[in-house]
Each structure stands twice: as C-alpha cells, then as structure tokens.
C-alpha cells in the first residue's frame, strides 16, 4: 500500500505539471488583446518560442506583434473589427509547434498566423497553414524553403542566400579575409542553409574555405572543432548558429587563443548573447534585419514606443514581429473582404510598405526584398557597421 501511495504522489505531481504547462497564456503588457465576448473580431494566431533554447526570439517577436496590433486597435482596427491575439508557446520544439498550429486553426479558428522565428519550426507550421488555407506570415524565418511550401506562406524578412551573400561580401571587402573556416549546427535548417550560401558566394569571389566544421545542438564543448580550425590559420570564422551556442563558442575560441573575427547571422541577435559570450565576442560581426542606431524616423518612432511600453531597446526580432503584424494589418485593410483568399492576395500585393526594417515589397516567391545591416559586437553592444543592398 505504501508503495502505491508514493507512486500516486508522483503521478499526481506529474499530472499537475502537465496541466500547468498545457495552458500557459501570455498576458499582454500593452493592451488587452484577449478574446472577449465580442465575436466581431479578427483572430490572429501566433506560435513562438517563448521558452526553450531560443526563448528570447519568441519573447521579442511576441512583444513586437503586441505593439503593432495594439496600435492598429487604437486606430480603430481594420474594417471596423478589432484584433484579437491567440499566442501559443512551442518551447523551441517542432512537434509542439505543429500541435499549436492545429489548435489555433481548428479550435481558435484564426484568420491568419504569425510565426515562427526558427526556420526549422516554420517549415513544420507552413504545411498545416497551407492545407487549411490560412495565410501565414513568418516574421524572421530566413531559410528559402519556408515560403516554397505554398501560396499562403509569406515572410517579411530577407532570405538566407542574401544573408549568406552579405556576410561573404563583408568578409571579403571589409575584413579583407581570404581564408575562412565554417562552424555550423548540422541539425538546424537555418544554420546549414546559411553556411551553404556563404560558401557559394565566398568561393565564387576567389575566397577559400579552409575547414567546414559542425556541431550538435546539445554540445557545450566546441574546443575540438576550434582546435582543428586554429590549425588551419583562417582569417575569420563564420558561425551561422543561434546565440546560446555562439556565446559558448566565442568564449572557448578566445580560451584557445583564437583572436580572429567571428561572423554570424541574425540568429545571434539576442540580449542573452552577451551574458554568455561576454568580452569574448568583441571583434565579431553579424548580419541583421535592422540596427537600433538607425536614425530614420520610422526606426526612431518605433524605438521610442517600444521603450515606453517594454522598458528596453528592441532587438531585430522584435522589429520583425512588429513589421509582420503591420504588413498583415495593412493587407487586411486593402483586401476586398476578410476571407482567407482575399487576405492572401492582398499580402501578395504588398509593395514598398514602410516598415521599421526597411521598405517591404513581397516578390513572386512571397519573400521580402530589402537590405541587410552588418552589426559589430562591442562589449555587448551591437554597433552599426554597414548596410548591404540586394
């Protein structure tokens, strides 16, 4: 009997835990975006990594989206209807994201989906949106395959061939690098794609890739890879990974006496990058969607409003979330009706939308065409370095 009671306690605790995790609802700090009794509303679904290994991506994007939708509601909404946001956490996991999508579409009956940041997760979500003919805009998934899934899938960011091109060009022209080593996360669609496009551009221009190394998502020790890279004496290392790995890699590289510049992509853009990497990240560069140092009025207004609401400087992913939600609102405004097909057509017809992250034009492949910025990491601050146009 005693045995049983112990087991019961454990099962009880486990069930409670499941119950708790099952219904994490994010409360909006900005305005009330929850569904009330009013049914004459526009339901927007969001799937994001609010927790897990890429948690700051989801949190930033979520804040950007809330800010945009609240502003749209304050201005009277779209076609007399207010926006309602259904936001679900996928814990940075693909299977959770798929479950969240199904829940949003079948239970919450959303009119459009915003998300995800990580390309690997967006690729799981997109087929579900496409099958149900629900328009989906990913704020910042840069892998080209994401929007190839179907004509209901859009993005408001540039794609990896361009991002890889930007860093290859920057390495060659600004850093004067001739030999570059690669360190990629071979389990991540984002990282593998970015590495591939970087190599294509860099070698086409006569550069040399001296070593192409990889790591696993669960690794915390990268010294063996870095030792092998050190032996090839490259001029720079390209690390197209996510911030949690990059911080540790930078630290271990400096411990091994590797002082050459490290380079990466928008996966580096997180306030957590500096807490893990610290001073080891000095002399590093990454491509990103926008710079908070941009003096244009669009960026400065956004900065001010975001700071007033959330008390911090928005990162690139917050800006992308903001732009994604605004592109959606703009398209719904222009659409003939709020039917899925009309909204889809209106998003596809977006031309030169004045976003925080640049002028957004949706091309035939449903990707956004826009410039990228290169940022330098300097004692945890991201300093503007240059802008590279497509």
Partner 1 sequence: MTEFVQHIVNGISLGSIYALIALGYTLVFGILQLINFAHGDVFMLGAFIGLYSSKFFGFDQNPSLGALVLIMGISMIGCAAIGYCIERLAYRPLRRAPRINVLITAVGVSLFLEFAGQLFLGADPKFFPQIYQPAGGDMGAGALKVNPLQVMVLVISLALMTALQYVVFKTRLGRAMRAVSFNHEYASLMGIPTDRVISYTFMLGSALAGAAGVLVGLIYPKIEPLMGVLPGLKAFVAAVLGGIGNVTGAVVGAITLGLAESLVVGYWAPTYRDALAFAVLIVILLIKPAGLFGTGRTEKV
The alpha carbon of residue 1 and the mean position of all alpha carbons in its chain are separated, in whole angstroms, by 52
| Residue 255 touching partner 1 (CB under 8 A) | yes
Helix axes 119-131, 189-204, angle to 10 degrees: 110
Toward partner 1, which CB reaches closer, 20 or 38?
Answer: 20
CB of 189 to partner 1, least distance (A): 16
**15 touches partner 1 by CB under 8 A:** no
Q: Which stretch binds partner 1 (CB under 8 A): 2-10, 29-37, 346-354, 379-387?
A: 2-10
Q: How far is CA 134 from the centre of its chain?
A: 20
Among 231, 313, 379, 381, binds partner 1 (CB under 8 A): 231
Question: At closest approach, how far in Å is the CB of 238 from partner 1?
Answer: 16
Name the one residue in this structure whose structure tokens are 């990162």. 315
Among residues 4 and 364, whose Cβ is nearest to partner 1? 4
Site string for partner 1, 45-84 (x = CB under 8 A): ------xxx-xx----------------------------
Cα separations (Å) of 37 from 34, 41, 43, 69, 79?
10, 10, 13, 19, 19
Q: At what angle do helices 223-231 and 243-255 cross, to 10 degrees?
A: 60
Stretch of 6-14, 143-151, 326-334, 347-355 contacting partner 1, by CB under 8 A: 6-14
Give the interface size with partner 1 as a residue count (CB under 8 A): 43
Which strand ranges, in their side-by-side order, compose the sheet holding 358-362? 353-355, 358-362, 368-369
- Per CB under 8 A, which region of 15-23, 78-86, 110-118, 372-380 contacts partner 1? 15-23
Residues numbered 81 to 120 that lie near partner 1 (CB under 8 A) are 91-92
Token pair in block for residue 158: 């540039």
* Rounded Cα distance, 178 and 357, in Å: 31
Q: Which is nearer to partner 1, 53 or 174 (CB)?
A: 53
CB of 212 to partner 1, least distance (A): 10
Can residue 257 be called a binding residue for partner 1 (CB under 8 A)? yes
Per CB under 8 A, the list member of 123, 155, 172, 230 interacting with partner 1 is: 230
Q: In Å, how far from its chain's centre is CA 334?
A: 26
Residue 28 CB, nearest distance to partner 1 (Å)?
A: 20
Q: Using only C-alpha atoms, what is the Rg of the chain? A: 21
Sheet bearing 208-215, strands edge to edge: 208-215, 179-185, 236-238, 262-264, 284-288, 372-378, 381-388
Measured from the CB atom, is 52 or 371 closer to partner 1? 52
Among 8, 12, 15, 17, binds partner 1 (CB under 8 A): 17
Nearer to partner 1, 35 or 233 (CB): 233
Please report, as residue ranges, which positions from 190 to 229 form the binding site for partner 1 (by CB under 8 A): 213-216, 218-221, 223-225, 227-228
**Residue 223 or 304 having the CB closest to partner 1:** 223
Q: Which is nearer to partner 1, 205 or 255 (CB)?
A: 255
Binding residue for partner 1 (CB under 8 A) from 34, 102, 203, 275?
275
Q: Which residues bind partner 1 (CB under 8 A)?
A: 2-3, 6, 9-10, 13-14, 17, 20-21, 51-53, 55-56, 91-92, 186, 213-216, 218-221, 223-225, 227-228, 230-231, 244, 247-248, 251, 255-257, 272, 275-276
């Amino acid at each position: 009997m005693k045995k049983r009671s112990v087991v019961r306690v454990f099962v009880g605790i486990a069930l409670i835990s499941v119950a708790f995790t099952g219904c994490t609802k994010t409360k909006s700090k900005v305005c009330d975006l929850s569904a009330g009794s009013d049914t004459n509303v526009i339901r927007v679904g969001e799937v994001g990594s609010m927790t897990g290994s890429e948690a700051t991506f989801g949190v930033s994007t979520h804040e950007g989206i809330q800010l945009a939708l609240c502003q749209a509601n304050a201005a009277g909404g779209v076609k007399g209807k207010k926006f309602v946001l259904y936001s679900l956490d996928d814990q940075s996991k693909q299977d959770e994201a798929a479950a969240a999508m199904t829940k949003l579409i079948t239970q919450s009956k959303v009119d459009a989906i915003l998300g995800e940041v990580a390309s690997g997760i967006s690729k799981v979500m997109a087929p579900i949106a496409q099958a149900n003919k629900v328009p989906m805009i990913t704020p910042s998934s840069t892998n080209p395959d994401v929007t190839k899934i179907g004509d209901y899938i859009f993005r408001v960011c540039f794609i990896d061939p361009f991002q890889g091109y930007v860093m290859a060009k920057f390495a060659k022209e600004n850093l004067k690098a001739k030999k570059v080593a690669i360190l990629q996360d071979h389990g991540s669609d984002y990282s593998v794609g970015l590495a591939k496009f970087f190599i294509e551009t860099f070698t086409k221009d006569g550069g040399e890739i001296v070593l192409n190394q990889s790591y696993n998502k669960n690794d915390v020790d990268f010294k063996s890879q870095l030792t092998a890279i050190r032996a090839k004496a490259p001029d720079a290392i390209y690390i197209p990974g996510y911030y949690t790995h990059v911080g540790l890699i930078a630290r271990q590289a400096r411990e091994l006496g590797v002082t050459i510049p490290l380079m990466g992509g928008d996966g580096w853009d997180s306030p957590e990058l500096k807490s893990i990497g610290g001073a080891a990240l000095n002399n590093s560069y990454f491509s990103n969607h926008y710079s908070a140092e941009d003096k244009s009025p669009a960026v400065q207004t956004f900065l001010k409003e975001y700071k007033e609401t959330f008390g911090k400087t928005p990162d690139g992913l917050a800006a992308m979330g903001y732009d994604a939600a605004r592109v959606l609102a703009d398209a719904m405004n222009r659409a003939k009706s709020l039917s899925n097909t009309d909204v889809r057509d209106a998003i596809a017809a977006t031309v030169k939308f004045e976003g925080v992250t640049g002028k957004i034009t949706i091309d035939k492949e449903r990707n956004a065409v826009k410039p990228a910025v290169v940022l330098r990491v300097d004692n945890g601050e991201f300093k503007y370095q240059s802008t590279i146009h497509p």
